[in-house]
Structure 1
């Protein structure tokens, strides 16, 4: 356990201190995390319920989406510990075992969310840009074994070295930008055919880009600034940058609230199942009325599809 923490300090060149530089800042951050926990726990429990009992993810090629749900739920479960630390004016636990376990869980959940989100983006990319060719990602996402292997592969990446911290963000974000650019370009060049399908692919990839831009990129940039400040031994500036970094890390936990939007864009069946289960009838009828994901030729077919398809998804 001690080796893990010492690895963090020596390989990153960043020695994280337990004491907070400003009590008021961390009191506020603790309440922000409390809000994330209060909203995130029921939301992620409801999403888990839908995926397991109503949507049955293993039958709907949604194994990767389910893994993101698991990662988000584990992240939410870690928040009370962080809240306790910040309420008691410490940035992390002075107990090496607790500190190591928290670092492990946060890095594992962050890595899993990023890995599966990028895999979903690649699936949309191959399905749209290279339509007609063999999509290996589509084959992989049907196999639970591949998901297990991804989790196992992420285990050594939980050691918070500087290279791992940045490569976890920079490389996936580069892939995401490339996929988004190619899909948007494909949509602009599409003159005939199902443009609605391409638009849904764009929305799916853009929703992943929003999660990255809001949750992961800012904290990564702040981490780079913190490294520079510490290497230059600028103590006064470091106290400010540490607070900025910790604030952005707290905001990065918002991915457990934003990811359900990704599920809705990536799988219309999940959206229908969730709305049909938890939304009141007035909102349910309004949100499920445009069943645009069903190809139709007449008004009669459209109306019947909007009534039948939501029921079929929920009954599975």
Structure 2
């Protein structure tokens, strides 16, 4: 029996029946009734939290009167990627509630997953940019001012968005609504016409979307940590500022590792299974279980990031206090102007009445 697989987690969906290279049929894992209610509720909850929190982060970065630093430009773009991901989750929750019977149009099947895939690829490359910026700031501080100008940071972010879109093209092209008569369902899946195409695109996405950026991040992080350990004795104000910014970056990187790395590892194992390097019903079943768990764990990272900005990011908290203070002053001035205008109007009315 040929492998029949409709599941694709960063390339999302669900599962039907499976077979390995020895033509052994592997039964589908039973889906419990509570999964149709708990999973959508979880997705809607993180959707509300993620949209609210990342929207707040974007508001602080955009409305604050002081220009963003290079690191803040990267973090704001990361927040934007998280925001777009969260905005698409209600459609996915509706799909799960409908028991993987796609209730929307064919076009929406292709488009709604695009921000989800772009989040996976863009997020990791924004972290690459953040890691490189911190690497230069701590290891090559003399060249940091010349290299990390904001216009180059904005251009780098634009290139990351474009590269994330490029890596998501296979998902955009091959994701379609397919009707399965034995299930009586129309499912939104990746429908590759040739298994070799799927292996090619999966290998490309695993390599450029995970392996290469993780190697860069790992190298920069190790050098950063080593540099911080060597500078603990020094205590200049500029170095303290750099260390505070670097601490936030390291915490965000740790959160990414916890939330996203298991998902990417499972996707690599899935590619090996499709290439028949791995086989067996137990492996297939375990991958199916891990894929679902780690996919939802990866989604949680979009809620965790803005929380970390507030808890760890002292500069971000300072921006928040400054922004609220600015709003408070503006409101006070507006109230005073309104009050002065009202008093003046009453005075004029009094004088007119006296005449």
**TM-score (structure 1 length as normaliser):** 0.72
Q: Structure 1 pair 40/134, CA: closer, same or farther in 2 (3 Å)?
A: closer
Contact preservation (8 Å) 1:273, 1:314: no
Contact preservation (8 Å) 2:137, 2:144: no
In structure 2, the partner of 1:163 is: 203
TM-aligned CA deviation for residue 145 of structure 1: 3.8
In structure 2, the partner of 1:34 is: 44
Contact preservation (8 Å) 1:180, 1:205: no
Of residues 76, 80, 83, the one that matches 2:93 is 83
Q: Which has the higher helix share?
A: 1
Matches within 5 A, 1:130-279: 130-134=140-144, 138-140=148-150, 144-158=154-168, 159=170, 161-167=201-207, 168-190=209-231, 191-194=233-236, 196-197=240-241, 199-230=243-274, 231=276, 232=278, 234-235=280-281, 237-261=283-307, 263=309, 268-275=314-321
Q: Which has the higher strand share?
A: 2
CA RMSD of aligned residues (A): 3.6
Matched, 1:52 2:52: no
Measured in 2, the distance between the counterparts of 1:136 and 1:100 equals 42
Give runs of ≥4 in structure 1 deviating > 6 Å: 91-94, 312-316
In structure 1, the partner of 2:174 is: none
Measured in 1, the distance between the counterparts of 2:290 and 2:49 equals 23
The alignment partner of 1:150 has SS state of helix
Question: Structure 1, unaligned stretches of length 5 or more?
Answer: 1-7, 279-310
Instruction: Answer with 232-241 or 143-152: which moved more.
Output: 232-241
Measured in 1, the distance between the counterparts of 2:101 and 2:15 equals 5
The alignment partner of 2:113 has SS state of helix
- Higher CA-based Rg: 2
Matches within 5 A, 1:56-75: 56=65, 58=67, 60-61=69-70, 62-75=72-85
Q: Structure 1 pair 155/133, CA: closer, same or farther in 2 (3 Å)?
A: same
1:110-140 CA distance string (max 9 Å, x none):
2222221221121111000111125565125
**TM-score (structure 2 length as normaliser):** 0.65
Q: Structure 1 pair 15/83, CA: closer, same or farther in 2 (3 Å)?
A: closer
